[in-house]
Amino acid sequence: MSQHSSARRAMHASLVIVWLGTAAVSALDHLGLSGLDHEGARLLAAGGIADARWQALLIWSGLLADLFIGIALLLRPGRASYLAALTLMTAMTLVGTVLQPALWLHPLGPLLKNLPLAAMLWFLLQPENICPRSSKLEP
């Protein structure tokens, strides 16, 4: 396996983990099982969305979108899933920026971390980096 192929596989695997992991921790937080005491709802409230129904709708919509992208990346790696992930990440970054622009300055970088994710997705979207569907992630 070439070094390029290994890097591509590592990037792809990390993206699957990010999307599936984000869906899981969003569900745990919303259900009060994360130890963060409903951080997602607090962030939405601080961004001006105080109604618990809207918070739940937005949290579960984002969670399901993350889950869908994670499953698509896992089962159908390729241009469509990478483009969907980049589009969703861009949309969520824009929404986060509008609701909580200070998150760009947060010490843990919740929005800033989207920049390397975008770079990885852009790299994987390039024609020379797309794997044929039949071989999934093989070189």
Provide the pLDDT for residue 34. 85
Tokens for 32? Answer: 């009060």
Confidence of residue 127 (pLDDT cuts 50, 70, 90): confident
Residue-wise pLDDT for 41-98, tens only, equals 999 999 999 999 999 999 999 999 999 999 999 999 999 999 999 999 999 999 999 9
How far are the Cα atoms of 2, 27, 71 from residue 50, in angstroms, in the given order? 51, 19, 31
CB atoms within 10 A of CB 108: 7
pTM for this prediction: 0.85
Amino acid, single-letter form, for residue 3:
Q
Share of the chain above pLDDT 90, in %: 78
pLDDT at 119 over 60: yes
